[in-house]
Homo-oligomer: A and B are copies of this chain.
C-alpha cells in the first residue's frame, strides 16, 4: 500500500486534526462527531450550511469549510456515510435562527443519515432544509444510488449557496438557488486506475494498464463501460458528448468548466485536458466564462479525471467570484 498512514482506523481523525492545526483560529475540530466547523459559527444572522459524506473525496467536503462556503462538515469514514448522530449533533451545534441547510450528495447512505438527522433536529425545533446534488450523468441508479450520483459539481452548488448565505439570503432562497445551480451542472468522469481505502489495504477493483472505466463513480462504482484507453482528445470528446448532450445548450451560452482530478492524476495532465475541453466546447458554441482545474472531488489516489460543465448567468458568475476563505488554498 503506497500510502502515508499510521493506524488505518485513525486515518480520517488524523486528517481532520491536520486540517484544524493548519487553520488555527479559523476552524474548530470536534473529535466526538468527526466534525470540522468554522470557529465563528453559528452566526445567528446567517443560515448555517452543512455537508457530510464519506471521506476519501478531499478537498470535498472538510476542506471546503470556511467563510463563504460550508459552515461545517461531518464526514464519515472513507467511502462511508456519516453516522446519523454525527449529522444530528452537527446540526445542533450549527443551529441558527435562520435555519440549517443540509447539502447532500445523492447517495442512499448519505440521504438516509441526513433524513433521520433532520427529523431529530426538527423535533428539537430546528428549521432544516435539504438540497440534493446529483450532477453525474454517467448512470441513472447505481450500486450506491437511486437516481444520479453527486460528484464534483457539488463544488459549484456549495460555492454559490455559500456566497449567497454570506450576503444574507434566507433558507428558502438558498434552496431555490442551489436547485437551479444543480440543474445547470453536469459531470462525468473516467478512471485510469483503481484506489485503495487505507483500512482495506487492497484496490477496490482491477483495471488494466491501458484500460479506462468510462463514467466511474467516486467510490469506484462501475460507470457506463470498460474500454481501451483512448487519447486525451478522444476521452474529452466522450465526456463532453455525455455532459453537454444531457444539458441542452444553445450556441452563445456561457459555462463554468471544471477539470477535476480524481486524486492520482497530476495537475499537468489536468491542464492538458482543460485545453482540449475548452477548445471542444468552443467548437460546440459554448464559451468558457470561468475555469477550474485541479482537485475538487477525489477518490483517494485514483488516477482519472472528471469534467463538469455548468451553465452560468450573471448572478451565478457573481456568486462564483465572491471571496471565500477555506483550508484548501495555495497561499
Which of A108-116, A216-224, A272-280 contacts the other chain?
Answer: A272-280
Which residue of chain B has its CB nearest to the CB of A296? B330
User: Cβ of A295 < 8 Å from any Cβ of B?
Assistant: yes
In the assembled complex, how far is the CB of residue A14 from the closest CB belonging to chain B, in whole angstroms?
5
Chain B residues within an 8 Å CB radius of A23: 291
User: Cβ of A311 < 8 Å from any Cβ of B?
Assistant: no
Chain B residues within an 8 Å CB radius of A272: 4-6, 11, 14-15, 18
Which of A123-131, A138-146, A245-253, A321-329 contacts the other chain?
Answer: A321-329
Which residue of chain B has its CB nearest to the CB of A262? B266
Contact call A268/B300, Cβ cutoff below 8 A: yes
| Distance, CA A258 to CA B226, complexed state (A) | 39
Chain B residues within an 8 Å CB radius of A263: 266
Contact with B along A202-232 (1 / 0, CB 8 A): 0000000110000000000000000001011
| Distance, CA A330 to CA B271, complexed state (A) | 14
Which residue of chain B has its CB nearest to the CB of A326? B330
| Distance, CA A231 to CA B324, complexed state (A) | 35
Contact call A271/B15, Cβ cutoff below 8 A: yes
Give the interface residue-count category, chain A.
Answer: 35 or more
In the assembled complex, how far is the CB of residue A289 from the closest CB belonging to chain B, in whole angstroms?
10
Contact call A192/B294, Cβ cutoff below 8 A: no
Report the copy number of this chain in the oligomer: 2
User: Cβ of A303 < 8 Å from any Cβ of B?
Assistant: yes
User: Cβ of A269 < 8 Å from any Cβ of B?
Assistant: yes
Which of A39-47, A54-62, A80-88, A94-102 contacts the other chain?
Answer: A54-62
User: Cβ of A22 < 8 Å from any Cβ of B?
Assistant: yes
| Distance, CA A300 to CA B261, complexed state (A) | 13
Interface residue from B264, B271, B279, B293 paired with A266 (Cβ < 8 Å): B264
Task: Name 20 A/B residue pairs within 8 A (Cβ), A-sorted.
Answer: A1-B210, A2-B192, A4-B232, A4-B235, A4-B269, A4-B305, A5-B269, A6-B231, A11-B268, A15-B275, A18-B270, A18-B276, A21-B278, A22-B278, A22-B293, A55-B268, A58-B271, A263-B266, A266-B298, A268-B300
Residues of A participating in the B interface, judged by any CB pair closer than 8 Å: 1-6, 11, 14-15, 17-23, 55-56, 58-59, 63, 159, 192-193, 209-210, 229, 231-233, 235, 263-276, 278-279, 288, 291, 293-295, 298, 300-301, 303, 305, 320-321, 324, 326-331
